[in-house]
Amino acid sequence: MNIQLSSSSNWQDYELIDSGGSEKLERFGKHILCRPEPQAVWKKSLPESEWEKLYSAKYIRMKGIETNRPDAQEKGEWKKKRGMPDQWYLDYRYNKMHLKFRLGLTSFGHIGIFPEQAPNWDYIFDLIQENPIKKGFRVLNLFAYTGGASLAASAAGAEVIHVDSVRPVITWARENMEASGLKDIHWVVEDALKFVRREAKRGNHYHGIILDPPAYGRGPDGEKWVLQDAIQEMMDNCSQLLEPGGFVLFSLYSMGFSSLIAENLVNVSFRNIGQIESGELFFTDRGKRKLPLGTFLRGKAEN
């Protein structure tokens, strides 16, 4: 195993400008956003007056929300300045891959993209492009959100099954697919754990499995997902779906969950995983502070 830090230098439309005071100041294209970031516990590099001058919109948490509860669903509102749109587009380019994302200001503070995932998109694209299986390479993307990893796999020529429990998020991912000039991603609105249980029973297999599970979530029929309670069963089922020689890409963003936890989960469930690399996703701000933004594990099964 090789524990490492992973960040992307391929972004033109994104920049982490500053971080600190439990906030981050980010540029998405022409627009600068101020959002909460619980891991940025240090002082800001820029004065508060500079943040106030720079941002186009700031997300303000609703008072009284206990965000440390395992079932917490953060809600709040955006303080927008004149000229800040509710929606806009962002480009990401890597080699022959050109992805386009529609961004939007949601009540949960998300905007439709996690830019720190770009190194994983690059990994997916390169791995599929280099694979000798040119047709029929199947990728399963679980907890797939607005589809960055799905787009990368599709751009590389894979058949993609995109699973998320929230129908509006699936619609958003479809818009990103169309904006990126891609097609034929298969959309599944379902609880991810239910889906992989059924796929395992059916004996279906995939050449790549991507997981980016939340700490807490709800399925379309009210199914409850708590990461620490369900993740081992999820990994056990996924191990039955992976083809020999296939890859698994596992991301976590939950404070207190290190990349070693991901490594242990994969090694317990996937008996045939050979090459493993894991570490932290991050961005460096203009003040040279590295902001941790989750962990990753990339592994390849032996043939």
Backbone φ, ψ for residue 85 (5° rounding): -80, 160
**Rounded mean pLDDT, 238-242:** 96
- Please state, in angstroms and rounded to a whole number, the distance separating the CA atoms of residues 147 and 155: 12
Residues 271, 149: Cα–Cα separation, whole Å: 25
Q: What is the pLDDT of residues 279-299, one digit of tens each?
A: 999 999 999 999 999 999 999
Given a cut of 70, is residue 72 above it in pLDDT? no
Query: Which residues contact residue 233 at a Cβ distance below 8 angstroms, ignoring those fewer than 6 apart?
Result: 193
pLDDT digits (tens, 9 = 90+) for 96-154: 999 999 999 999 899 999 999 999 999 999 999 998 776 789 999 999 999 999 999 99
Mean of pLDDT values over 72-95: 90
Rounded mean pLDDT, 39-49 = 97
Contacts for 103 with CB less than 8 Å, ≥ 6 apart:
28, 29, 87, 88, 89, 90, 111, 112, 113
Residues 212 and 143 sit within 8 Å (Cβ to Cβ): yes
Superfamily of domain 114-301: Vaccinia Virus protein VP39 (3.40.50.150)
Q: Is-contact 243 208, C-beta < 8 A?
A: no
Please write the tens of the pLDDT for every residue from 265-274: 999 999 888 8
% of the chain beyond a pLDDT of 70: 92
- Is residue 61 a contact partner of residue 36, using CB atoms and an 8 Å limit? yes
CB 98 within 8 A of CB 20: no
72-81, 159-168, 215-224: which has the highest mean pLDDT? 159-168
Q: What is the pTM of this model?
A: 0.92
- Between CA 30 and CA 36, with CA 35 as vertex, the angle to 5 degrees is 165
Q: Could you state, in order of their start, the residue ranges of all structural domains in the chain?
A: 114-301
